[in-house]
Amino acid sequence: MNKKIMPTSTLLNPVPVVMISCAGKDKEKPESRPNIVTVAWTGTINSEPPMVSISLRKSRHSYPLIEETGEFVINLVSESLCKAVDYCGVKSGADEDKFASLALHAAPASGLQYAPAIDEAPISLSCKVISKTELGSHDMFIAEVVSTEVDERLFDEKGKICLEKANLVAYVHGEYFSLGKMLGFFGYSVASKDVLERRMPKTKTIKSEQKGKQGRQSVTKTAPAKTKKKKTK
């Protein structure tokens, strides 16, 4: 493949789309009011215990709030919240109350004292800061996820989380995208024919909210096309 060598860049994509909610300690001060900030650079960094990182520029209004309390909430985002996320990314909490502007609601976040969760988010991860590292343009906060709240509607009758019902959003190089076709599951490259037939419906997709509300399309029982199976060994 012919490749062009580029200046170093931040091309690792897609990235999750999230809203970070936080608040200061002193509720009387306007600058301490609950705020929502978006970050492009966030991710899980450890499984047990669950840990995440978010990277923030020092200039962000939320930076001193998170530094002061050692708390923030990572709120995942459904397609219906995408425009609100974008708005939070271009406006500053120094100038306005973004919860009020967007008619979103700050709810107490399980396990935290100061930072609120966003009630409208399908999933909220309550995070307590462990460390902060200055990297250059951004400072990276490492935090432990101390509690997780999940919209009851995302569970199936067996109590399993069906994350595809959340209609999560991905960000790629300046643009927001819904999720599309389900391409496979972990282990599908070596799965038996029976497992593939059960778990790999050819038409399984995450449906855009603009087409329907239920997230996952009903499944057409079509076995995976055998002729298309890629030889992997």
Of 42 and 62, which CB lies nearer to a copy of itself in the complex structure? 42
| In the complex, minimum distance from the CB of residue 192 to a copy of itself, in angstroms, rounded to a whole number | 13
Tell the smallest beta-carbon distance from residue 68 to a copy of itself (Å).
22
State the DSSP string of 101-137: HTT--EEEPTT-SSPEEETTSSEEEEEEEEEEEE-SS
The set of residues, in sequence order, having a beta carbon less than 8 Å from that of 44 and lying 6+ positions away, is 50, 51, 52
Minimum separation from the CB atom of position 211 to a copy of itself (A): 9
Give the nearer residue to a copy of itself in terms of CB position, either 65 or 81.
81
User: How near is the Cβ of 147 to a copy of itself at its closest, in Å?
Assistant: 6
CB 156 within 8 A of CB 162: yes
Q: Which is nearer to a copy of itself, 13 or 27 (CB)?
A: 13
CA-based max dimension of the chain: 67
Residue at 23: amino acid letter: A
User: Whose Cβ is closer to a copy of itself: residue 30's or residue 187's?
Assistant: 187
